[in-house]
Homo-oligomer: A and B are copies of this chain.
Amino acid sequence: MRILVVEDEKRLADALTQIMREQRYTVDTVYDGEDGYQYARSGEYDAVILDVMLPKRNGFDIVRALRRDKVATPVLMLTARDELESKINGLDCGADDYMTKPFAPEELTARIRALTRRQGEVFLEEMAFEDIVLELANSDLRCGAKRIRLSYKEFEVMKLLMLSQNAIVPKEQLIVKVWGPESEAEDNNVEAYISFLRKKLFFIGSKVGIQTIRKLGYRLGSEAEA
């Protein structure tokens, strides 16, 4: 989860950055309105913490511009003034929430959680290993420009292998997690799917291969190592 902090007061900016990093967000920090706007416009953030009073360009202005640019990133406005006017102004500009300084760190994190929750879950969108990427949203397996659609079970098997990175995944575990603990699935079912996946890995030209560790299971590795 990526957060953009736009705040000119160095001490406060650092504090905000620190607080958010502790919550395991990836934080970028900029110190004036113009930079803030440019960064936020990229749309790659999951939330923006935006001071109202800023050099070069004020917060209201930035939010309005972002919304006009069709950037929907949630924005939390920050201001020293506790006036109703500026609250309403902020929310009406298209900001999603509003907080007055000073504030407790917990309040900040709670508000950011509330803002990011919506998109939240979905944001881990892909898994990577070596030169391949598994797109969680649509079950596509990608290597460079080439891609191929995986079926439901192929996807599940691949996901488990990638989740374990280089570790060995026992057949038994694949059966339990993909076919279910009650299932009648046999080893050969897994073998068939490993075979399907190998074909698809070859097709997209990946150097990643599925290695067989006899009697133990399978694991991912690059063809080179072996």
Query: B-contacting residues of A (Cβ < 8 Å)?
Result: 72, 74, 84, 87-88, 91-92, 94-97, 104, 106-107, 110-111, 113-114, 117-118, 137-139, 149, 151-152, 167-168, 213-216, 219
Contacts and interface: CB of A to CB of B under 8 A. Distances in A.
Contacts of A110: 87-88, 91-92
B91 A104 contact: no
Contact of A92 (B87, B94, B113): B113
Contacts of A138: 168, 213, 216, 219
A107 B92 contact: no
29 contacts: A72-B118, A74-B118, A84-B104, A84-B106, A84-B107, A87-B107, A87-B110, A88-B106, A88-B107, A88-B110, A91-B110, A91-B111, A91-B113, A91-B114, A92-B110, A92-B113, A92-B114, A94-B117, A96-B114, A96-B118, A97-B114, A118-B118, A137-B167, A138-B168, A138-B216, A138-B219, A139-B213, A149-B213, A152-B215
Contact of A216 (B139, B213, B214, B219): B139
A214 B151 contact: yes
Q: Which of A84, A110, A139, A167 has the most CB atoms of chain B within a 10 A radius of its CB?
A: A110
Nearest to A88: B110
Nearest to A217: B138
A24 B87 CA distance: 22
